[in-house]
Amino acid sequence: MNSEQFRAAGAKMVDYAIEYMETINKREPLPHVVPGWLAKVMPPQAPVKGEPFENIFNDFEKVVMEGTTHWMHPQFASYFPAGNTWPSILGAILSNAVGVNGTTWESCPAVTELEMIMADWVGKMMGIPKFFWTVFSNPETEGGGCIQTSASDAILLGMISAREDCVRSLRIKYPNVPRAVLLNRMVAYRSSQCHSSVERAGLIGYMRVRPLPADELGNVRARTLREAIKEDMKNSLIPYLYVAVLGSTGTCAFDDLMEIGPVCQDFGMWLHVDSAYAGSCYACPEMRYLSKGMEYAWSLNTNMNKWMLTNFDLSFLWLRYREKLAGPMTGYDDTRIHTPYWPIIELKYFGTPATRRFRALKMWFVLRNYGISGMQKYHRNHILQSKVFERYVERDERFEVVGPTRVGLCCFRLRGTNDINNKLLEAINASRRLHMVPSYFHEKFVIRYAPVYQFLTEEDVATSWRITDEFATAMIHQYIRDGTDAALLKPLFDLQAYYDEQHKAHPDEQWDREETAAETFVTSHEHEKIVDFFAMSAKDGSYGDAGDDEDKTYDGYLKSHPEALRREEIRGQPKVTDKVPSMLRMEIREKAAKK
């Protein structure tokens, strides 16, 4: 391909990208493929001779897009937001065009310095403490930020920094004790709501990590941490780190840093703050109440590729003391840290790769094009839409909201067993009209509604709720007909009967969705296109294997405590109509009626 061919192909790609984004709602969120489908349509080996680009592009839609999940679809409400904007795409194009490898300052000064400046721009926008700023913004600082590929990498490096800081102090105190012995006595702590990447970091970094139970709101209380520390110290263990979560992946739980921070300070422990998802919303001053106590943190990570309109991969890791990470990466060789470019530290000492791409360019493009006000508008809309969905859930007595809806995530479930909630989610996703993923909260199987689409509207949310309502009705009817868990689910069945009396659904529409629900109920573990979400949901609220025994814990509890689902009375009439009006208009009418 020569430059003119590249120009023509590039123009075609831009036109395709625009058409794709503008017509994405005409597609289904999930593809109709099964595992191994691509190997059946792809040649077994690469072509001997090159092919014209036209042939390659023609196969793109027929082959690749056939098996693509459309994260930007208004009815894709899974996982977390996935930043993908035009300025980010353009920044990635230019980054690839320049083709530099950032390793030392001299290898490309712009890569190193723009990364540092973007860390400051984002940090200031989020309102993080000044000791996390680089020397460009705070000449007195010893801290700074750097870009990592993901939150998992950032968490690993934050934990390694804490581990090595503790080991170095212990080696001074116990010079004759082998390193391995010291490591074996050290213990870190994490919330039960932390992402599974914390456990993986412990495995990779030979770190003992003890999970601590969260309360009914998802917070680890200071008393819980303090008691765990004292217990471990009695057993001759050395506490050195707590990994706090501000906006967990599974349920968006928040630790209270104003409680946890002083405990870490009292025991001389490193506090790492994982705010991969929710950290971006601190750009809105009204949301910073969630990050109070950040002054106790020694390291912090936030993903730009989640909720900051920048496509994957781009995550920031901030350190109170940069040399706590750069030191171990250089073997504490001061000559490699204090180079002629000091106080700039080489990027290669802020992670395992010796080189890195020009990722800061994407962030620069996005922040300049949207500005802080544009970011705030985007965050506020997602927060509003998640609250709109929460209102729909609260108005339907068959459902319950699980945990507080504080940012752009609403966790909910039917008032019943884990099994019926699992089947409900399977049916919804099998329809490919809406896609959501599950999590666990105190052994309850919950469904996560997480706005992803950048321009999500109330109409999009209403559509998501209508689909959820349809399949919930169909699934409950299926359970009633089959007599599944009849005694246990009687309160839910009674609510459904009341609901049916108040809202007579069109019989044809009802039959279609009940047929889908029935098929899912009978064949959910055999149908090749349906995923068993029990097997996807980990107890830590992320996505991984929870184990067959753990899956049934909550349902077993309900069978021995049926009063947990029994309701004294129906507190209000379910107010979900066939055509759901704007939630804001509902509120206006309610206020007018009260007057």
| Side-by-side strand order, sheet with 238-245 | 144-148, 315-319, 299-303, 270-274, 238-245, 186-191, 209-212
Segment 573-595 shows an average pLDDT of 41
CB 476 within 8 A of CB 493: yes
Least confident of 159-173, 214-228, 453-467, 520-534: 520-534
Q: Which two tokens stand for residue 568?
A: 């004294």
Q: How many CB atoms neighbour CB 82 within 10 A?
A: 19
pLDDT of residue 558: 63
Residue 88 and residue 134 share a domain: no
Please report where in the chains the tokens 């083709």 appear, as a residue.
Answer: 99
Amino acid identity of residue 171, one-letter, is R
Residue 341 and residue 219 share a domain: yes
CATH of the domain at 458: 3.90.1150.10
Q: Is residue 340 part of a domain?
A: yes
In DSSP terms, 147 is beta-bridged to: 316
Q: pLDDT band at residue 517, thresholds of 50, 70 and 90?
A: very low
pLDDT in tens, 61-100: 888 998 999 999 999 998 888 878 999 999 999 998 988 8
Percent of the chain at pLDDT > 90 equals 52
Segment 501-524 shows an average pLDDT of 52
Q: Which helix (H) or strand (E) holds 325?
A: helix 323-329
Residue 310 and residue 188 share a domain: yes
58, 75, 95 — which closes off a domain?
A: 95
Q: Which residues of 14-51 are buried (b: 16+ CB within 10 A; e: fewer)?
A: eeeeeeeeeebeebbbbbeeeeeeeeeeeeeeeeeeee
Q: pLDDT band at residue 504, thresholds of 50, 70 and 90?
A: low
- Which residues, 6 or more positions from 82, have their beta carbon under 8 angstroms from its beta carbon? 71, 72, 305, 306, 311, 312, 452
The residue among 570 and 278 whose pLDDT is bigger is 278
Q: Is residue 150 part of a domain?
A: yes
In DSSP terms, 447 is beta-bridged to: 412, 438
- Structural domain span for residue 507: 396-594
* pLDDT surpasses 80 at 336: no
Residue 343 and residue 408 share a domain: no
Got the DSSP string for 487-531? TTTHHHHHHHHHHHHH----HHHHHHHHHHHHHHHHHTTT-TT--
Residue 427 and residue 335 share a domain: no
CATH of the domain at 85: 1.20.1340.10
Mean pLDDT is highest, among 48-52, 228-232, 382-386, for 228-232
pLDDT in tens, 154-196: 999 999 999 999 999 999 999 999 999 999 999 999 988 888 8
* pLDDT surpasses 60 at 119: yes
Residue 60 and residue 162 share a domain: no
Phi/psi of residue 285, nearest 5 degrees: -55, -30
Amino acid identity of residue 52, one-letter, is P
Residue 522 and residue 487 share a domain: yes
Q: What is the spatial distance between Cα 271 and Cα 300, in angstroms, rounded to a whole number? A: 9
pLDDT of residue 487: 86
Residue 349 and residue 410 share a domain: no
Residue 115 and residue 86 share a domain: no
Q: Is residue 378 part of a domain?
A: no
Q: Is residue 582 part of a domain?
A: yes
pTM of the model: 0.84
How far apart, in Å, are the Cα atoms of 116 and each of 145, 347, 574?
Answer: 6, 10, 53
Q: Is residue 384 part of a domain?
A: no
Candidates 361, 378, 463, 423; CA nearest to 99 is: 361
Q: Is 371 helix (H, G, I), strand (E, B) or coil?
A: helix
48, 72, 95 — which closes off a domain?
A: 95
Classify burial at 447, counting beta carbons within 10 Å of its beta carbon; exposed 0-12, middle 13-18, buried 19 or more.
buried
pLDDT in tens, 426-461: 999 988 999 999 998 888 899 999 999 989 999 999
In DSSP terms, 145 is beta-bridged to: 318
Q: What is the spatial distance between Cα 98 and Cα 85, in angstroms, rounded to a whole number? A: 20
pLDDT of residue 546: 43
Segment 294-308 shows an average pLDDT of 93
CB 343 within 8 A of CB 138: no
Q: Is residue 583 part of a domain?
A: yes
Q: pLDDT band at residue 218, thresholds of 50, 70 and 90?
A: confident
| Side-by-side strand order, sheet with 410-414 | 399-401, 410-414, 444-449, 437-441
Domains contained in the chain, number: 3
Residue 228 and residue 181 share a domain: yes
Phi/psi of residue 259, nearest 5 degrees: -90, -50
Residue 269 and residue 223 share a domain: yes
Q: pLDDT band at residue 249, thresholds of 50, 70 and 90?
A: confident
DSSP state of 485: T
Q: Is 239 helix (H, G, I), strand (E, B) or coil?
A: strand
DSSP state of 416: S
Q: Is residue 387 part of a domain?
A: no
80, 95, 110 — which closes off a domain?
A: 95
Q: What phi-psi label fits residue 34: left (phi over 0), alpha (psi between -120 and 50 degrees) or beta?
A: beta
Q: Is residue 352 part of a domain?
A: yes
How far apart, in Å, are the Cα atoms of 543 and each of 139, 538, 540, 585?
Answer: 42, 6, 8, 37
Residue 406 and residue 500 share a domain: yes
For the chain, the residue count is: 595
* pLDDT surpasses 50 at 531: no
Mean pLDDT of the chain: 84
pLDDT in tens, 16-54: 999 999 999 899 998 888 888 888 888 889 999 999 999
CATH of the domain at 128: 3.40.640.10
Q: Which two tokens stand for residue 240?
A: 């050195």
* pLDDT surpasses 70 at 528: no
- Which residues, 6 or more positions from 163, have their beta carbon under 8 angstroms from its beta carbon? 183, 186, 188, 205, 207, 240, 241
